[in-house]
Amino acid sequence: MAVKENIDYIKSEISSQEQFLENAIKGERFFRRNKKIFIAIIIIIIIAIIGYGISNYIEESTKSETNKAYISLINDPSDSSAKEILIAKNPSLYALFVIKTADLNSTALIDEAIALDIDPLLKEVLQNLKGHKSSKILSNYNALIDGYELLKDDKIDAAKSEFAKIPLNSPLQPIAKNLEHYQGK
């Protein structure tokens, strides 16, 4: 009986080794057939990783350069090289500089910033600084400010009509209601 069990054991070992060898051969055939695809996928992954790294490096260096230019421009507003760097690489940051240093008597910088390709909200703020009343983004804010000014002049009915221009879903609506209720006091 022991000999028969040994023979069965040896047969099962040989069949498991055969299966392992057969699977290895199938895997090798599959790899050989699709070798070019695997190599292409690996190359694409490597190129993507390198491209991502280069993109991050360029973005960080640009950010660092524009931050240095912004600091330089804050310290010396007449620094034309820093101004050109900001206008070329980050026009929105230049618009923020113009907002920070806006001189309402001289609107040349504001006009220059408005002409740039910047965020629409910044454009609206710049136009508001210049004295143009915004009809888009800042209209609710302008209605609130105008209503408050009318309340200060004791023109309550006109102020209420200004506050009525603010939509009910606006975050400024509670402020307008309080101003209307307390009549600016």
CB 96 within 8 A of CB 124: no
Give the Cα separation of 116 and 141 in Å (integer).
24
* Sequence letter at residue 1: M
Question: What does pTM read for this prediction?
Answer: 0.56
Q: Which of 165, 167, 170, 169 is nearest to 143 (CA)?
A: 165
CB 138 within 8 A of CB 128: yes
Give the Cα separation of 137 and 113 in Å (integer).
18
**Mind listing the pLDDT tens digit for each residue in 63-93?**
999 889 988 988 988 888 988 998 888 888 8
Residues of the chain with pLDDT under 50: none
Residue tagged 């050989």 (tokens): 32
The residue ranges of every structural domain in the chain are 1-89
- In the prediction, which pLDDT does 137 show? 61
| Cα torsion through 34, 38, 41, 47, rounded to 10 | -140
- In the prediction, which pLDDT does 111 show? 77
CB 99 within 8 A of CB 91: no
